[in-house]
Amino acid sequence: MGEGELSIDPWSSTQSTDYSRIIEQFGLSDFNNLTLPNPSHLHRRGIIFAHRDLDVVLEAQKIGDNFGVLTGLMPSGRMHLGHSMVIEQVKWFQDLGGDVTIAVADLESQATRGISLQKGREIALREYVANYAALGLAPSSTNVYFQSTRSAVQRLGFQLGKRTNLSEFESIYGFKGDTNLAHFQAPMVQVGDILHPQTEDYGGLRPIVVPVGVDQDPHLRLTRGIAAKSNWFNLKANNGPGVLIGLSVQDENAELLGQQPNGRIDKSKVAEIFTKVVSSLTELGFSDINSNPKQGTIVVPGATKKDLTSIRIKLLELERRLGGMGLLSPASTYHHFAVGLTGQKMSSSKPKTTIFLNDDIATITKKIKKAYSGGQSTIEEHRRLGGNPDIDVAYQYMMYFFEQDDNYLAEINSDYRNGKVLAGEMKQLCIDKATDWMSNHIELRDQTEHLVDDFLAPDSK
């Protein structure tokens, strides 16, 4: 890691909130060029602030193609408001037509937190899935599974281990010689989680989006790199117009390409495969295709950046027919972390920093009353100088969780800034909204309790 560079450690208890630097350093995309159908409050308020390849998923959605959503949870403690943000996003994608897969990271939790598989299962069902039901996920298109019982995930993680190495783990995660191997195994299982929904047994090739907190981006970088390295065909937009396709020779296709012990490949076999590429591209409507098996390249002069995804998917389909894995890099979205009630990081191991989804109203009221405030120290000063909603937890929680109405928020935001609304009043507004939200949530949880089992995939009942 270079000097002055940021690192993201998914296991750390601290987390950088320098989001624009994160975007820049890790090559995330912002939302400036995307139009979202029916944006949720998390989108409208910039809480979901960055993505990778979300355009691929939105395009599939727009033209009615299949797409999937996958996320995962670590069953280690109680579910709190911060966790609910991911589920809100999953629900948003589900409402747009995506199928949903949720990994219970019981292997990761066992290896990195010392939680037994039995205990992990109990926590997942009681704390998490029960709340997913209440948050409105539809059981008919949701599959919750356990890492420990889905061998396809474990196999994929193991198999793809050959596409990465120690140096890459060092550079992505900052691992050293004394890092225990569970921290290598857990990300590889997560790679399996993220990629397996596109295998034939779990829904087949389609774009998969992974909504997560930005602390999980290292795993996405790892997964995307691994998927790209496994691809038999590379493609990129040419410098001028056109798209350039190359062939990647690797162990998996060496026999198909008639590779000799000296490394040379059989040009006639390449020509055969290129004929298949050309016919795949013709199906997309391209007629002008320059295939050059001797050089190992194909150029589609009439294609542009906009065609990259459809070409990529055609090539992955072909790769699969030829015996390859045909893995599409996952898309992802990232949200800001809500500040903890105390002004520090929200954490399930510090109950005062957060509101749990099974806290009762009295507890919630008490917690919000004590929350970190953006008000001035005396009423007189507050009236004169105004408060700061950007750091006021009560305001922030209405914005993140409890208040749907943007106009109302804008109003109390400016009333707070100009001193019209006092810090105590802001807390009371938040308590009222939180009470409504939680009462409704408790009622929904009672109503949907019987559905918990329906969320479980057949291999996880």
Instruction: Note the residues at the interface with ligand TRP (CB under 6 A).
Output: 70-74, 103, 105, 108, 190, 193-194, 210, 212, 216
Q: 220 vs 422, which CB is nearer to ligand TRP? A: 220
Q: 185 vs 280, which CB is nearer to ligand TRP? A: 185
> What's the CA gap between 174 and 259, in Å, rounded?
37
Residue 176: CB minimum distance to ligand TRP, A: 20
Structure tokens at 437: 């939200």
Residue 333: CB minimum distance to ligand TRP, A: 11
Residue 97: CB minimum distance to ligand TRP, A: 20
Residue 93: CB minimum distance to ligand TRP, A: 14
Q: 71 vs 142, which CB is nearer to ligand TRP? A: 71
Residue 108: CB minimum distance to ligand TRP, A: 6
> What's the CA gap between 152 and 324, in Å, rounded?
16
Sign of the CA dihedral with 197 first, then 200, 203, and 207 last: positive
Q: 128 vs 400, which CB is nearer to ligand TRP? A: 128
In 3-state terms, what secondary structure has residue 103? strand
Question: For residue 36, with 0-12 CB atoms within 10 Å meaning exposed, 13-18 middle and 19 or more buried, which class applies?
Answer: middle
Look-up: residue for tokens 């009462």? Answer: 439
Rg of the chain over Cα atoms, rounded to whole angstroms, equals: 25
> What's the CA gap between 26 and 371, in Å, rounded?
33
Q: 145 vs 274, which CB is nearer to ligand TRP? A: 145
| Alpha-carbon dihedral angle through residues 187, 189, 194, 197, given to the nearest 10 degrees | 170
Of the candidates 272, 274, 254, 273, the one whose C-alpha atom is nearest the C-alpha of residue 264 is 254
| DSSP-derived secondary structure for 42-69 | HHHTTSEEEEESHHHHHHHHHTT---EE
> What's the CA gap between 403 and 434, in Å, rounded?
9
Q: 226 vs 412, which CB is nearer to ligand TRP? A: 226
Phi and psi (nearest 5°) for 451? Answer: -90, -10
Yes or no: say if 73 and 137 are a contact pair by the CB < 8 Å rule: no
Three-class DSSP labels, 237-303: ECCCCCEEEEECCCHHHHCCCCCCCCCCCCHHHHHHHHHHHHHHHHHCCCCCCEEECCCCEEEECCC
Q: 195 vs 393, which CB is nearer to ligand TRP? A: 195
Residue 237: CB minimum distance to ligand TRP, A: 29
Residue 191: CB minimum distance to ligand TRP, A: 9
Minimal CB distance to ligand TRP: which residue? 72
Residues 6+ apart with CB under 8 A from 440: none
> What's the CA gap between 238 and 301, in Å, rounded?
9
Residues 6+ apart with CB under 8 A from 415: 421
Q: 66 vs 348, which CB is nearer to ligand TRP? A: 348
Residue 115: CB minimum distance to ligand TRP, A: 12
Residue 112: CB minimum distance to ligand TRP, A: 8
Q: 57 vs 194, which CB is nearer to ligand TRP? A: 194
Q: 194 vs 399, which CB is nearer to ligand TRP? A: 194
Q: 152 vs 322, which CB is nearer to ligand TRP? A: 152
Residue 218: CB minimum distance to ligand TRP, A: 10
Residue 111: CB minimum distance to ligand TRP, A: 11
